[in-house]
Each structure stands twice: as structure tokens, then as C-alpha cells.
Structure 1
Amino acid sequence: MQPTPSEYARTPVRIEMQRSKERNSMVYKEMYNDAQRKYSEALDRISKLTDAYLREKAEVENFIKIKDREVEMSKKNANEKLLKDFLPVLDSIDAAIQAEKDNNLIRIRDQMLGVLSRYGLKPIKAEGSKFDPYLHEVVGVTADGEDGMVKYEVQRGYTLNDGVLRTSKVIVVKR
């Protein structure tokens, strides 16, 4: 006689198979949960490493930009001492032009200023402009003219790459 389905389900082999399935199911669940946890930890680690990489990359890029700016400024101002040494020569030419109004001297000065301007040297416009303490140094005062304006330029000033190399020495109108 054959066992009924309910009797068959209670046989020791069947009971053991059921228990084995349950154990396997629990083991698989634990393995799945463990894999999920490890996967989550790996994603966190990847995220942290990516953030650290991006921060380091940004730091390196900023460092490179700073160094590039420093090199550029060094290049721009490398000739500062040489150009500063030329200023007395320009002053002498200007004084000779004032004394003699020689067109040859004017051409020489203009040529020299043209060459020096390629290296960033530019004369400061003073006469007739409003007094600017960053560009002008007062060496005298007059009452003749509009208050706060530069009346005369005693010595020409120059800028080098947008920085003041030497201020203009000026006489300012003060009432």
C-alpha cells in the first residue's frame, strides 16, 4: 500500500529534505545579505576614493595654475631692473629735448620708448590729468589752474606691466 500524500510529506526523508531546504535557504539568505553588505561597502569605498581623487586632482590643478601665474609674472618682471636702469637715460634724453627741441632726439626717444613698450614699459600721463597718488608724487604746489589737477610734470613716471615702476614727479594745483 502506498502512503497518502500527507503521510508521504511526513516521512523522515521528506522531513529531512524540507529541513535541508530551510537551512539552505537561510545560508543563501546570509550569503546574499553578506554580498549586499560587501557590495555596499565597496560602493562607499569607491565613492570615498573618487572624492579623494577629485580633491587631489583639483589641488594639483590649482598648484599648476599658481605656478603658471608665478612663471608668467617672473617673465613679465624679469626685465624690471634693466628697464629701471634705463630710466635715467630716458630722463637725460627728455632733458636734452627740453633744452634744444631737437627732432632727432625726439625720434630717438620715441624709438626707444617703442622698444621698451614691447617689454611692458609705458610712460604715465601726468600733465593736465587729475592728481593720482598711486601714479604721481607731489614735488611742488601752484595756485594757477584747476584744483587737484597736475599742472607740470617735473620727471616722467613709468608703469611696467600695469604696475608702477616709478611715479611721476609733479607740481599740483592747490587752492
Structure 2
Amino acid sequence: MKKLVLLLIVLPALFACESDSENLYTDNFITYDLFKGSEFDYTGKVEVKELKTGQLEMSISLNGAKTNEEFYFPAHLHFDSYDGEDAPIAYQLNPVDQRNLESKTILSTFSNGEILTFEELKKFDGHIKVHLAESGPDYAVILVAGNIGVNDNSTASFNPEAIAVCSSNY
């Protein structure tokens, strides 16, 4: 009997926590592919969800080799297409943790002063790059890249040899 009473108390609490996290988001979301950008065998996805506050949550999920060591891959949202020369950083994303190959960032003010809504994001001229390292020669190694917004994000249009070097302008 005590187990039944405990179960009746715990179950509603579990469902309440679950519905709280579900209530953070609207029904608006969009997903983009991230394509292999170097000899390192990584691919991935970017999912952008609209929060009920109007902010955008950008989640990166990579497929590839994980490690048990704490190491992070820098990730950037850039203006322009992935093959655009000197594409400045629009937003510095939270780095991708190599232990679980995930990153989550709540977007706020971009480097140009803009704050995008979900509808504006769909018209945004941009791309995402995930680097091997924060600095040094490995910064030039792009693990994955992919266009977002109005830019073509299809497999057929992606050419890893066309990935432009990242501008450090932020």
C-alpha cells in the first residue's frame, strides 16, 4: 500500500517536469544538415527551435568519434554562404562537447546588432562551421559546415573544397 501511495505521488511530479520543458517551445522548428568538411569523419544536424519568449535555441548534434576527455570544438554562425569569402561571425555558438558531440545555444544579439525572429531566420543569409580547435593551425580545419536560412543546404550543392577560411571578425 505504501508503494502505491508513493507511486501516486511521484508519477504526477515526473509528468509535471516533463510538460514544463515541453512548454518552453512553440511549434516552430527547422533543421539543417552539417556536412563533412575535412578528413575528420564528422557530419551532423542543426535544429533551431523557437522558445515561447521569441528567442531561438540552436542545437548542434554531430555524428563521429567521441572521447571521454573534456575537449570542445568551437562553433560559429556566420553571415553569408559557407563558400563566401571573409564571412564574418554573426554569433559565437557554445562549443560542441566531444564527449557527447552536442551543443546548445540560446541566440541573442548578433555581431551586427540584430536579433532574429524565427521567420527572419528562415530568410537569413548564413552558415555554420564547427572547427577542430579554437586557435592555431587546427582552427583552419573545419569539421563540419552547412548553410542555413535562404542558402541551399542540399547534399548536391555542398562542396567541401569550396569552404572559405573563417574571418575572425566578430
TM-score scaled to structure 2, two decimals? 0.28
**Could you say which structure has the higher strand fraction?**
2
**Could you say which structure has the higher helix fraction?**
1
